[in-house]
Amino acid sequence: MTPREGRAGPSRGRRLGSDIGAYGLGLVLARLSSVAVLPVVARAVEPALLGTFASLSSAMLIVYVVLADFGLGEAALRLGSEGDESERAALFHTVAWARLVLGAVVGGLLMVFASPLSRLLTGSDAVAKFAPVVAASVLIGAVARALTDYLRSLDRHHTVALGLGALTLGENALMLILALTTQLDLSWLLLSKLAAQLVSLALLAWPARGLLRAKLRGAALRRLFVFGFPLGVFHLLIAVRGVDRIAVARLSTLFDAGCYDVAARFAAPVALSNVALNMTLEPLAYRLHTDPGAKLAIADFVRAYVLLFGLAAFSISVLAPELFALVAPAYASGTIVVPALLFVDVAEGIQRVAGMPGELAKRTRLWLAVVLVNAALSLGSMPLFVPRFGPAGAALALLVGAIAGALVASIFARRVHPARPPVSSALWIVVLGAGLASLALGAGGRAPLPLWMRLVAIGLFAALSWFLSGASVAMLRRRARELLARRSPHASAGDGELG
């Protein structure tokens, strides 16, 4: 048992809640800023221009995930939990160098093939001139990811949340300033993104300076790649999520892609709940995978996650007409996209937790099957759904893939590990939430229900979610006592056990 595992201070359950709260508060506030700046940015940027920017941003994410990730950070987290501090630092030092090299190679390829990529994404060569900015963004993102993974291994979750929050807050603040002071064009949008990445990297660099004292271990690279590659394949799902804007831009119009991107901004707070959950659960679960109390705590937090963020997704969805009218009336056609987009994020959070027991058993290859099913259904459905249902078809395709992937992850993980997260009940909440919210908004060309009926639907969905999740008053009381005890100076050593 490591010193961190044996601490008698705050219980692991309370630490889990605190860390998730740190990510949730910092990152959700940051992403809420994406909505806060919409009234100004939406009036300064026409939908087609925002659609182009969204397509380029998605392309940056895709090329990084496909060519510069390979699951190295997750591999170092898992393998580093078996060694001492020097071994852990050496692994992450090696990961940092590997990502630096990969990021540079990928950036170079982007510049070489700038013109054909521009035509693929937007139908013209107009954005090829921005290739150097896009390449720099990919390189900086690769280095920042390495620092983030190292800090997570040290339980510096609050620092990671600060860096990730600064990334979005900085980008939105710069966009707001530029929208108020100049003509906001594509070059300014891309440079705002790059400047925010530099600020985030600076915030992470000093706390992660311990990496500089570690030794590079080239021999560890093969082990990291072998263990991490299946996890890297799982991250291809992030790339699949990035295809949606490109699919809408190419199968519909850049105008629709812009409206879709605004709808995605309303989904951002729920999307970041997945970041909060996964950033905290991964290192905790890897270290404490033999602790029955930790498994119970994780299951409880999953139930709480589905209740809280499922209800948040449903509430934001049914109120989307009023939200669009308030902050981005020119993008109002994106309203119907919101329910499916929001519940995709909830489903992907469930999918990640469903497969985690397989990782604890070192059967990471299950993610190959998960990715194959998820990507095949998502990508295969988009060309069918987008022409038929418009931009909402892309979100629906993602939702179908995420639900199927979660089921596959749960089936494979249960074969190799005794943990049983409440996956099925959580997915029922996703299906019903997305379907009912879409009907409330007038799916199929009908008018949305009156506001009072949609407000009543929120209460009914909350009751339905409580029933389906398997949550109980006893569970909430147990976790509430832990959170209250954390604030008490008289917390005893017995509080260090999970209940």
The string of pLDDT tens digits covering residues 153-186 is: 777 767 777 777 778 778 888 888 888 888 778 8
Pairwise CA distance, residues 78 & 2, whole Å:
14
The pTM assigned to this predicted structure is: 0.69
Full residue range of the structural domain in which residue 230 is found? 10-488
| Number of compact structural domains in the chain | 1
Residue 236 confidence (pLDDT): 64
Report yes or no on 120 lying in a domain.
yes
Residue 279 scores a pLDDT above 60: no
Report yes or no on 1 lying in a domain.
no
Report yes or no on 114 lying in a domain.
yes
> Greater confidence, 423 or 149?
423
Residue 3 scores a pLDDT above 70: no
Report yes or no on 33 lying in a domain.
yes
Report yes or no on 3 lying in a domain.
no
How buried is 180 (Cβ within 10 angstroms: 0-12 exposed, 13-18 middle, 19+ buried)? exposed
* pLDDT tens readout for residues 116-135: 888 877 777 888 888 888 88
* pLDDT tens readout for residues 317-354: 999 999 888 888 888 888 999 999 999 988 988 888 88
* pLDDT tens readout for residues 53-76: 888 877 777 776 665 566 676 676
Report yes or no on 4 lying in a domain.
no
Report yes or no on 106 lying in a domain.
yes
Encoding tokens for residue 113?
């093939």
Residue 423 scores a pLDDT above 50: yes
Mean of pLDDT values over 202-214: 78
User: In Å, what is the CA distance from 54 to each residue of 61, 95, 190, 247, 497?
Assistant: 11, 29, 10, 11, 46
Report yes or no on 493 lying in a domain.
no
Pairwise CA distance, residues 324 & 319, whole Å:
9
Contacts of 449 by beta carbon, 8 Å cutoff, 6+ apart: 440, 441, 442, 457
